[in-house]
Chains A and B, each alone.
Chain A
Amino acid sequence: MKKLTIAAVVAAMSLVGCKTTTSYIDAADTTTNVVAALSYADFSKAANEMADDIISNKLMTHPQADVGGRYIIYVSGIENDTMQRLDTDQLTKSLRVKLLQSGKFLVTTAFGEDDATKKMRDLKNSKMVKQASVKGDNQVLAPDFSLSGKILQRDSTLDNGDTRIEYYFQMSLTNIENGLAYWEGERVVGKVADGSSVSW
Chain B
Amino acid sequence: MNIKLISSAISVVMLSGCTSMMQRNDFDSFNSKLDSGDFSGASQVALEHAGYDNDSGETSDLLWTLQAGASLNYAGEYELSTKLLDETETMMKEEDTESTASEGVELIGSMVGNDAMLAYEQAHYDGIMTNTIKAWNFISLHDYQNARVELNRAEERQRRAAQHFADIIKERSEELESEAGESSALVKQTIESDLTQNTLKKAGIEQGQWKPYEGYVNPFTTYSYGLHLLITGKSKSDFEKAANSFKRVHSLTGSPAAKADYQLARSMVKNPSQSKLKDQVWVIFENGKSPVKEERRIDLPIFLLSNNVSYAGIAIPTLKKRGTTFDSITINGSKTSTIADMDKIISAEFDQEFPYILAREITRVTLKTIAQKQVKDENALLGDALAILQMVTTGTDIRTFSALPSEYQATRIKAKHNTVEIKAGSFTIPVELSTESNKHIIYVKAVSPLIEPSVKVVNI
Chain A residues within 8 Å of B, Cβ to Cβ: 79-86, 153, 155, 157, 161, 194, 196-200
Contact = CB atoms under 8 A, between A and B. Distances in A.
Contacts of A84: 149
A79 B152 CA distance: 13
Contacts of B146: 85
Given A80-B145, A155-B159, A157-B163, A197 B96 contact: yes
B230 to A, nearest CB: 15
Given A80-B145, A85-B146, A196 B153 contact: no
Interface string B372-385: 00000000000000
Given A155-B156, A155-B159, A198-B153, A81 B148 contact: yes
B1 to A, nearest CB: 21
Contacts of A79: 145, 234
Given A157-B163, A194-B97, A196-B96, A80 B149 contact: yes
A184 to B, nearest CB: 14
Contact of B160 (A80, A81, A198): A198
Nearest to B155: A83
B152 A198 contact: no
A198 B145 contact: no
Contacts of B167: 161
Interface in B122-162: 127, 145-146, 148-149, 152-153, 156-157, 159-160
Name the interface size band of chain B: 10 to 19
Contacts of A83: 149, 152-153, 156
B417 interface: no
Given A83-B156, A155-B156, A155-B159, A198 B93 contact: yes
A163 to B, nearest CB: 9
A84 B145 CA distance: 10
Contacts of A200: 89, 153
A86 B153 CA distance: 14
Nearest to A148: B234
Nearest to B163: A157
A80 B148 contact: yes
7 contacts: A79-B234, A80-B149, A82-B149, A153-B152, A196-B96, A197-B96, A198-B127
Interface string B158-184: 011001000100000000000000000
Contacts of A161: 167
A84 B152 CA distance: 9
Contacts of B159: 155
A200 B163 CA distance: 18
A81 B152 contact: yes
Contacts of B153: 83, 198, 200
B255 to A, nearest CB: 26
Contact of B93 (A82, A157, A197): A197
A153 B153 CA distance: 10
Interface in B380-427: none
Contacts of B89: 198, 200
